[in-house]
Structure formats: C-alpha cells, structure tokens
Amino acid sequence: MNLKLKSIKWLVCLFAAALLIAAPITQANQQLEKMSQDKSQWVMPGRDYSLTRHSELDQITTANAKNLHVAWTMSTGTLRGHEGQPLVVGDMMYFESAYPNYIYAVNLNDIGRIVWKFEPPKNPNAPSVACCDVVNRGVSYAEGKILASVLDGHIYALDARSGKVLWTAVNADPMKGQTVTAAPVVIKDKVIIGVSGGEYGVLGYLSAFDLNTGKLLWRAYSAGSDEGLLFDPQKTIDANYQKPVGKNSSLTTWSGDQWKLGGGTTWGWYSYDPKLNLLYYGTGNPGTWNPSQRPGDNKWSMSIIARNPDTGVAAWAFQMTPHDGWDYDGVNENILFEATVHGQTRPALAHFDRNGYAYVLDRRNGKLLAVHKYDPTVNWATAIDPVTGKPTVDPAKMTKSDVNVKNICPAAEGDKDEQPASYDPVSRLFYIPTNHICMDYQAFDVKYKAGFPFVGAILNMYPASPDVRGRLIAFDPISGQTKWAINDKFQDWSGVLTTAGGVAFYGTLDGWFRAVDMRNGKILYQMHCPSGIIGNPITFMHKHKQYVAVLTGVGGWAAIGLAAGLTKSSEGLGAVGLTATLGDYTNLGGTLMVFSL
C-alpha cells in the first residue's frame, strides 16, 4: 500500500472513530460527578474532574482551626515518598503507599480495622529505574472498583468491597526504563493513565483501558507520526497559533529519529470537562537533557494536550517550552475554572508550569488568555508572547554541551512540580505550593541504552533566596498578582486543600502540617508530623464531624537524598545538595494522619 493511500485509510478510520462519540457508552463519570457533589466524600484524586481540590465543608473555620488535633493515625508499612492522597467513598477510606504499592481499605466506622490490604507482586527491576523516588499519586474509584497503578506499570482493578483482583493490565516495561507513578482517571468506560521514564529515553504516551475488562482501547504518543500522536492534521489545533497543526507537526521538529528516545512522558495529573468531552494533561521533558543533541522545538513535549477521551484524538495542543534546555516538564495539573478576561467569562484552565509561568488557556481551543510569572526570580526567559505563548529565551541562560551555565531560575524542579494547587471559587484565587530555587546546569553528550539513564547533564540546585526554598502563595493568574506568601525553609512539595470554612491546609517538606487563613496567610494551626509531607490533604465528613487527612512520608525528587541515602551535591539529578540539611528536621516513614476538632 503506498503512503498516500495508507494516510487516507488512516484518516477514514479516524473520522469513523470520532463518530462513535454519539454512540451509547457506559457513563461511569456521571456517577462520579454526582458523588463528587456530595461534600462528605472525596471520590476522585483531585476531588472533582476539574482538579480544584476545594471542599464545601465548613465545620472547620478560621475561628476554631486552632482547636484541631490528631484524631487517628495509621502506618502505611513503607518508608519512601508518599505523593498521593486517600479517597473516601461512603464509610470507607482507600489509599496506596509508596513502593511496594500496598493498597488499603479502612472502615471509618471501625478505626484500626483494615478491611483489606492488596499487595501486588514485587518487580525488583522497577525501583532501579524510578528516577525520582518510588512514589505513587493515589488510587481512583468507579462503579464499585478501586483502580490503581503500581511502579512496574501494572494497572489493577480491585473490588472495592473485598480487594479481589477483577483484572490486570500492563502499561509499562521497567526493562525499557518505563514506570508508572500517576493516579489514573476514570472517564466513562475508560481508565486513563500515563507513563514515567523521561530520564531513560522513554517516549511518553497516554493509555485508555476498558473499565470492565482492562483491554487497551487507545494509546496516544507525545511525539512522532500523526498516527501515533492521534492527531488529525486538519482538525487538531496548534493552540499557540490557533490553526491546524498540519502534517507531521512533531516529526518536523526533531532531528532524524531522536523523537523515539524520550518525548514527553505523562506522569502528572489529568482533568476532564464533561460538557466539552475533553481530557487535559501535560507532557514532560524531551530526552536527553542536553538540548544540543536534539535541535528543534521537540514537539509535542512540554505541552498541554486536550483529547477526546472516547477516541484519544487530540482537539488541540499548546507547547510552553520549545526546545527545553532546563528539564521544565509540563506535567503539572490543569485546573478547570471560569475565567473573566477583559470583561468576558470563558471556560478556562490554569496551569502553573515548572518553567515559572502561570498560563490561563481557553479550554475549548487552547487559546492563551493570560500568562504571568508566579515567582519573581524567573530568568531563563525575558518574556512570553501574550498571543502565542512563545518564550523569548535569554541566550545567557540557554544550556548547551560542555558549558556550565550559572544561576538559572527556576531550577529543574521548577517553581512548582507535580505538587497540586487548589482553586477557591469564592475568592477566585489559586493557592499554590511552590519551589523557590535556582541552578547551575552543565550539559554533555550521552548515548542511549535501553533501561539506563539518558540524561546528559550535571546540575546543582540552591535556594533562590537565603534559607528560602519554598513559598505557599495565594495567586491571581489573570492579573499576575500574589496576594500573600508564606516563606518556608524547604520546597513546599505538598498539595493544597481549600475549604468553604476559609481554611487552607498544606504540609512542609520538614514535616509541619498547617491550617492557614485563606484571606491573609496567617498560620492558624500547625503540628510537626512523624515525617515530611509530600502528600495532598483531603477533607471529609463522617458522623457529622469534619476530618482532614494527609499522607506523610518524606521523599520524592525534592527529598531524594534523604530517601535514597545520597550525599553528593549533584546526585539525584542535582537535587541532593538543595536539601542537604533536611535530615536534621525529619526522617523517613509513611503514616496516614487524620485531624479533627
């Protein structure tokens, strides 16, 4: 078959698949939407499909938060970093530990009793290729099933009542450097999940599995051919320029077959707009970290992509950091909200990128509505085009082979990594856990070998201000105004929870769990937990009492030195020196902490 005929055949199949949108499909998300409106529960990782992490519970207020105390605790049985959050479905709580990925069901009517514990088979090859600790970002729920990913790439559907395995699927191969750390999202009849491994030459992809059988239904890659990307050259929009992407929009931005060795892994968070029927997620760094080895914009790494979850076909794609030379992964969450810009209200998403800029996009077509720095030290770019979103890179901060480029802000961990922000619809502010860090970056040539690191850079990271590595901020991404900030000694790697009681909750890397007045940032309550916090707080109501829960257990990239016993400053992809003194304040150990009045 010639290439032209093959292309026509593929497009016919693509359009036929798109027509299936109107066909009857199991609507698991309708059940989840309804359940997420019950403020007593927490049924999705980000609370809702919009990833707002905001609760309408208001029993805990700015007046009584000082009376919070520990209601109960539970060990997770593992020592490494806990980046996820529990779910509360009815009278049951579900959560997943770091590797070896124990999954627990706890009866809230009988605290201390573990209803079931699932222990997946251990794969010794997986931890060795987990670049930034053996973390996991939580389980999902739908139609009586707990959906879980584990480090070696297996996806499990478990009976929520018994923990029985209903099906298993494979989404990664550690022998190729692939792992899975993200929390899946359930949309209609599909379980959607990405892949990790950008530091091992892994080409990123997003996979959709059948909720009832585990069968792979579609897979969309982050770079390569239009067929692999699931891009329609005439209908998928290049959101930077508001026009069709055209043929081979990715292949023309890479040199030769370089795209096969690491383009945009997808290990962050996934949001969904049921009205538009669009799924939103970000893609990570291109491989290698040495930009001299991969000339071009390297599309569609470092991008936000919107897809039809029924077919996987992309509606639009917006690239934030073309030809990345700093490891500014674009995987951070896309929070859906209604934005008023120039007097007009539009369905929008807010994305606080690793590169230090806050992007507000029209979620219908990816059009840029606003862009501002959310940390004042950002210097890798001198400006972002307010129409196209293209950065004007400072040549002095562009990395290249065999040159040690000094004082780049932010560092590779970004001004925010995966630690999720929260949106309060009353104040219309975002409450963002951030990093406040810079770096020196020396790139060098590197060769690819499957399952081995494919980095090509030596980094050293350090605080952007004396003894300040993290800031919790209240931020308006439309105006670019920071309303208030709390400075912290270490990176704020915990997620944020906001509530209708006017109280926000977050944790610090050195172990403080805090309740904060959302109006002014005043700390209303704090407790030093057994280990540093990189998990995400949730809140729920049980027997007429409001509780707040968080997984503690220091680790992740932010604390990889402590987690993995590394001591050389440039180890851990440059992160170890940044937190060299963290062990003076906290230690390893996973614990579920639950608070109440």
**Separation between Cα atoms, residue 23 and residue 45, nearest integer Å:** 28
Instruction: Assign 338 a pLDDT band (cuts: 50, 70, 90).
Output: very high
- Tell me the pLDDT tens digit for each residue of 427-457: 999 999 999 999 999 999 999 999 999 999 9
Q: How far apart are CA 538 and CA 594, in angstroms?
A: 10
Return the closest-CA partner of residue 540 out of 478, 490, 497: 497
Q: Model's pTM, two decimal places?
A: 0.95
Q: Are 214 and 169 within 8 A, CB to CB?
A: yes
Q: How far apart are CA 390 and CA 189, in angstroms?
A: 37
Q: Which two tokens stand for residue 563?
A: 């987690």
Mean pLDDT for 96-109 is 98
Name the active-site residue from 133, 310, 327, 362.
327
Q: Contact, 304 vs 320, CB < 8 A?
A: yes
Is the pLDDT at 25 greater than 70, yes or no? no
**d(Cα 89, Cα 476) in Å, to the nearest integer?**
32
pLDDT band for 29, please (50, 70, 90 cuts). Answer: confident
Element (H, E) at 408: strand 404-408
504 pLDDT more than 90? yes
Q: What is the CA radius of gyration of the chain?
A: 22
Q: Is the dihedral of CA 31, 37, 42, 47 positive or negative?
A: positive
Evaluate whether 93 touches 106 at the Cβ level (below 8 Å): yes
For residues 84-100, average pLDDT: 98
Do residues 236 and 314 lie in contact, with contact meaning Cβ atoms separated by under 8 Å? Answer: yes
Structure tokens of 24? 């009857």
Distance CA 75, CA 434 (A): 27
Q: Is the pLDDT of residue 257 over 50?
A: yes
pLDDT band at 27 (very low <50, low <70, confident <90, very high): low
Check if 327 is active-site.
yes
Q: What angle do CA 498, 502, 506 make, to 5 degrees?
A: 40
**Integer Cα distance of 40 and 590 in angstroms:** 25
The string of pLDDT tens digits covering residues 108-163 is 999 989 999 999 999 999 999 999 999 999 999 999 999 999 999 999 999 999 99
Q: What confidence tier does 14 reach under pLDDT thresholds 50, 70, 90? A: very low
Q: Is the pLDDT of residue 11 over 80?
A: no
Kindly state the average pLDDT of the residues 564-585.
Answer: 96
Closest CA to 56 of 450, 546, 446, 595: 546
The percent of residues in the chain predicted with pLDDT above 70, rounded, is 95
Single-letter code of the amino acid located at 289: W
Helix, strand, coil in percent for the chain, rounding step 5:
10, 35, 50
What lies within 8 Å, CB to CB, of 465 at 6+ separation is 377, 436, 487
Q: What is the DSSP string of 223-281?
A: SS-HHHHT--TTTSEETTTTEE--TTTTGGGSSTTGGGG-B----S--EEETTTTEEEE
At residue 78, the pLDDT reads: 97
pLDDT digits (tens, 9 = 90+) for 448-498: 999 999 999 999 999 999 999 999 999 999 999 999 999 999 999 999 999
Average pLDDT over residues 97-117: 97
User: In the CATH hierarchy, which fold is given to the domain comprising 31-596?
Assistant: Methanol Dehydrogenase; Chain A (2.140.10)
Full 3-state SS string of 53-87: CEECCCCCCCCCHHHCEEEEEEECCCCCCCCCCCE
Cβ contact 443:289 at 8 Å: yes
37 CB burial (10 A radius; 0-12, 13-18, 19+): exposed
Here the tokens at position 513 are: 């769990």
Indicate whether 23 pLDDT > 70: no
Report d(CA 53, CA 35) in Å as an integer.
Answer: 15
For 595, the token pair is: 């608070």
d(CA 538, CA 447): 43
Distance CA 574, CA 65 (A): 38
pLDDT surpassing 80 at residue 230:
yes
For the stretch 344-393, pLDDT in tens is 999 999 999 999 999 999 999 999 999 999 999 999 999 999 999 999 99
Residues 586 and 509: their CA atoms lie apart, in Å, by: 8
**Over residues 284-288, mean pLDDT:** 96
